[in-house]
Amino acid sequence: MEAIKILGISGSPRKKGNSNYLLEIALETARSVAPEMVETELYSISGKTFNPCDACNQCHDQLGYCRQTDDDFAELRDKWIEADAIIYSVPVYHMGIPGQLKIFIDRLGNSWVESFTSRPLKVIGVLAQGSGMATGQETAMTFINVHAVMSGCIPVGGDWPASYIGASGWTRVEEGKSALRKLHAEEDADTVFTVDSIKVLSKNVVHTAMIVKAGGKALQEMLKEDGGYEIFLRRIT
Ligand SMILES: Cc1cc2nc3c(=O)[nH]c(=O)nc-3n(C[C@H](O)[C@H](O)[C@H](O)COP(=O)(O)O)c2cc1C
């Protein structure tokens, strides 16, 4: 089987901040789970521009197409479409995800309506951290999981007790870009728990993506006949 591609998307507008730090751990773990079988790429939205959807609806029924081309949407969309699995790492913003990433998902979702009838079956995991302890991590992770389901993808969590719907953390109300890196170095118990849960989630993402790809190849004749898997089959065959 050829390698699976995992795209890590850091949803923070800050370069090399806490979301980036956790995502690096997730991608490093993913590579270690199955060296030679896993390719990873980290994409940071920092410094990128995503103009909001203006509801022109020209994208409907044109996979991935968007009329607006004067920003970075297409660059990330193409990477998203190509990946077997996505790991989002987001800072909590106002109990949700940062606006830049929400804009990307809005536009991807609408130009991806074909996926409502043809399931791309990407595996999607999420990491969320904020300055508070339980101050929006769950709502942010739930949104990403809903986005996965809406996009015909497969949301994957961690294992009990670490991460039910994703892996989450907090910076102990420290606003610095390196807060989690420092807390991890100091072996702060909550941050160690966060990192452990990221490793479990990351392993689950890799295993599920490999199972899905191998299963898709084995069952491709049946899936072709069904007709609801064109996007998935285009990617894996
Ligand atoms: C506009 C804004 C809104 C925020 N809202 C929340 C929030 O609702 N809950 C929370 O726990 N942290 C909130 N934070 C704090 C960030 O989530 C936190 O500092 C995080 O570690 C930043 O991650 P980064 O270093 O990857 O940018 C907010 C920060 C900003 C700038």
The string of pLDDT tens digits covering residues 125-169 is: 999 999 999 999 999 999 999 999 999 999 999 888 878 999 999
pLDDT band at 226 (very low <50, low <70, confident <90, very high): very high
Q: What is the pLDDT of residues 157-211, one digit of tens each?
A: 988 887 899 999 999 999 999 999 999 999 999 999 999 999 999 999 999 999 9
* Ligand 1 neighbourhood includes 136 CB (under 6 angstroms): yes
pLDDT tens digits, one per residue of 58-92: 988 777 789 999 999 999 999 999 999 999 999 99
- The response to whether residue 171 sits with its C-beta less than 6 Å from ligand 1 reads yes
What are the Cα distances from residue 81, in Å, to 50, 84, 136? Answer: 17, 8, 28
Map out the domains of the chain as residue ranges. Answer: 4-236
Q: Which SS3 state, helix, strand or coil, does residue 182 take?
A: helix
* Cβ–Cβ under 8 Å, residues 9 and 48: no
Whole-angstrom CA distances from 116 to 51, 81, 89, 109, 113 are 24, 15, 24, 10, 5
- Which protein residue has the closest C-alpha to ligand 1 atom 3? 93
Q: Say yes or no to pLDDT of 1 above 80.
A: no
CA dist list (Å): 196 to 6, 22, 73, 111, 169: 19, 11, 32, 36, 11
Nearest-angstrom CA–CA distance, 106 and 154: 18
Q: Which fold has domain 4-236?
A: Rossmann fold (3.40.50)
The reply to whether ligand 1 has any atom less than 6 angstroms from the CB of 132 is yes
CB 130 near ligand 1, within 6 Å: yes
Structural element, H or E, at residue 89: strand 85-91
Å from CA of 175 to ligand 1 middle:
8
pTM of the model: 0.97
